[in-house]
A = this chain, B = another copy of it.
Amino acid sequence: MIEFDNNIPVYIQILNFLKEKIVKRDLKEGDKMPSVRELAKELKVNPNTVQRAYKDLESSNIIFTKRGMGSFVTEDKLKINDLREDLAKEIILEFSTRMKNMGFNKEEMIEVINSFVEGD
């Protein structure tokens, strides 16, 4: 389930959610994507909104569609690797920019992650 942020378009958040799933390999190369209607029901949004996210994924060749059969993750592992890198860079860039704006340097960022993030 996604906690939607009201300030960002829902379809963009779904798009990112799906990209993360693929990068995390919850959805692997060639895997069938959840159907538009199914995911819409699960996320409690209109099917059109999910559809929009899927179309964006398709136009960046991250998923492809077989008519009447559903959508599938690309078979191209390189594409997925690129996605992983691009997505990570985007996330880190936003984080580091805002932290720098607040006056944190690299060491302080690491320190703060060490103390606030749970897990190994």
Residue ranges of A at the interface with B (Cβ–Cβ < 8 Å): 7-10, 12, 16-17, 20-21, 23-25, 46, 59, 67-68, 84, 87-89, 91-96, 98-107, 109-110, 112-114, 116-120
Contact = CB atoms under 8 A, between A and B. Distances in A.
Interface residue SS majority, chain A: helix
A7 B9 contact: yes
10 contacts: A8-B8, A20-B101, A21-B101, A84-B102, A91-B98, A93-B116, A105-B119, A106-B113, A106-B114, A106-B118
Given A7-B12, A46-B68, A91-B98, A117 B112 contact: no
Given A20-B102, A84-B102, A117 B109 contact: yes
